[in-house]
């Protein structure tokens, strides 16, 4: 009996494992064809100046319109794309789409707004990226100062890269061209802040996890206050991400945080929705802060 039960258990597990492996195999095969099938799209989340309520930027967020499962978010496929090295062509697609779309909005006479794109450490091969960005900016005709790269702290740490000197050189050249550099998820990565002094960064994006408990967790409130003060003394601007309620907004206002982004202001918008928002702004200046 025991032996039989053991055998059943074993079979149960192999079936489960086979199913997981099969699911993964299917996902990999579908992911391999997302570009040729044109199943990727970008959503655009507004970034709002706290002092005026005006739209000052937008973050491009990748989505996969999956044939069976509907709209997938990056947590459901970016890690797999990285393991398969598909993040390189996908990342190029993101850069190209963001630049062409932003330029198209400007060519339509809408207010020029900066666009931020996310670049993972697996895809940030410095020298290759510099050339790709130059090419795409030239092809799309987008002025470089409307493009911002969101890099995580891990991208900036030498051990993750073939050559840290090339990172400094490449980011410096991008900055000279006018491209903006933001540190994404700031505060969740490395404790060493020395890279802030070596690298030409413009903006710190405070991670959502600190914003979440602003009003109940004194440590988080203290950390945010410190990050904003640090940014200001280094002449960097600060974006708070994941702002979901008014109490968080009031706290950030009291600490002179410049820019906010989160569901309270707006969810990520489809291209059509963002076009409508830009058209509304074109009619009259719009305060996007809640009253």
What residues make contact with Mg ion under the rule CB under 5 A?
Answer: 118, 150, 184-185, 241
Q: Residue 118, interface with ligand C2E (CB under 6 A)?
A: yes
Q: Exposed/middle/buried for 17, CB within 10 Å: 0-12, 13-18, 19+?
A: exposed
Minimum gap (Å) between residue 97 Cβ and Mg ion? 16
The residue within the footprint of ligand C2E, chosen from 53, 66, 74, 271 (CB under 6 A), is: 74
Q: Which residues contact 172 (CB under 8 A, 6 or more apart)?
A: 200
For the chain, report the end-to-end CA distance as a whole number of angstroms: 69
The span of 69-77, 101-109, 129-137, 139-147 binding ligand C2E (CB under 6 A) equals 69-77
Measured from the CB atom, is 10 or 100 closer to ligand C2E?
100
Return the SS3 of 36.
Answer: coil
Torsion of CA 210, 211, 212, 216, to 10 degrees: 90
Minimum gap (Å) between residue 200 Cβ and ligand C2E? 20
Minimum gap (Å) between residue 40 Cβ and Mg ion? 17
The residue within the footprint of ligand C2E, chosen from 57, 126, 187, 242 (CB under 6 A), is: 242
Q: Give dist(CA 146, CA 33) in Å, integer.
A: 30
Torsion of CA 237, 243, 247, 249, to 10 degrees: 30
Q: Give dist(CA 283, CA 176) in Å, integer.
A: 34
Q: Which of residues 144-203 bind ligand C2E (CB under 6 A)?
A: 150, 184-185
Minimum gap (Å) between residue 96 Cβ and ligand C2E? 11
Minimum gap (Å) between residue 146 Cβ and ligand C2E? 17
Q: Give dist(CA 105, CA 59) in Å, integer.
A: 15
Measured from the CB atom, is 118 or 123 closer to Mg ion?
118
Measured from the CB atom, is 15 or 238 closer to ligand C2E?
238
Q: Which residues contact 58 (CB under 8 A, 6 or more apart)?
A: 44, 45, 46, 47, 113, 114, 115, 116, 274
Catalog residues that contact ligand C2E under the rule CB under 6 A.
45, 61-62, 73-75, 78, 91, 94, 118, 120, 150, 184-185, 208, 241-244, 262-263, 268
């Amino acid at each position: 009996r025991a032996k039989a039960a053991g055998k059943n258990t074993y079979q149960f597990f192999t079936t489960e494992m086979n199913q997981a492996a099969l699911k993964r195999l299917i996902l990999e095969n579908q992911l391999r064809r997302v570009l040729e099938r044109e199943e990727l799209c970008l959503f655009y989340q507004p970034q709002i100046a706290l002092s005026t309520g005006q739209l000052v930027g937008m973050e491009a967020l990748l989505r996969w319109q999956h044939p069976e499962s509907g709209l997938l978010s990056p947590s459901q496929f970016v890690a797999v794309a990285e393991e398969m090295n598909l993040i390189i062509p996908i990342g190029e697609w993101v850069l190209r789409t963001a630049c062409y779309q932003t330029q198209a909005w400007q060519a339509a006479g809408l207010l020029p707004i900066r666009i931020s794109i996310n670049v993972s450490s697996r895809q940030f091969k410095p020298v290759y990226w510099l050339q790709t960005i130059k090419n795409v900016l030239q092809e799309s005709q987008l002025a470089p100062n409307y493009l911002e790269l969101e890099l995580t702290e891990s991208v900036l740490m030498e051990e993750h890269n073939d050559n840290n000197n090339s990172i400094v050189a490449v980011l410096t050249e991008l900055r000279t061209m006018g491209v903006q550099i933001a540190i994404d998820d700031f505060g969740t990565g490395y404790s060493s802040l020395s890279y802030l002094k070596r690298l030409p960064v413009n903006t710190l994006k405070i991670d959502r996890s600190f914003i979440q408990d602003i009003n109940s967790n004194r440590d988080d409130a203290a950390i945010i206050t410190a990050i904003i003060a640090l940014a200001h003394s280094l002449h960097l601007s600060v974006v708070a991400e994941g702002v979901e309620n008014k109490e968080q907004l009031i706290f950030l206002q009291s600490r002179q945080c410049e820019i906010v982004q989160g569901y309270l202001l707006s969810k990520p918008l489809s291209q059509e929705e963002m076009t409508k928002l830009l058209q509304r702004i074109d009619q009259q200046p719009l305060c996007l802060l809640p009253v």
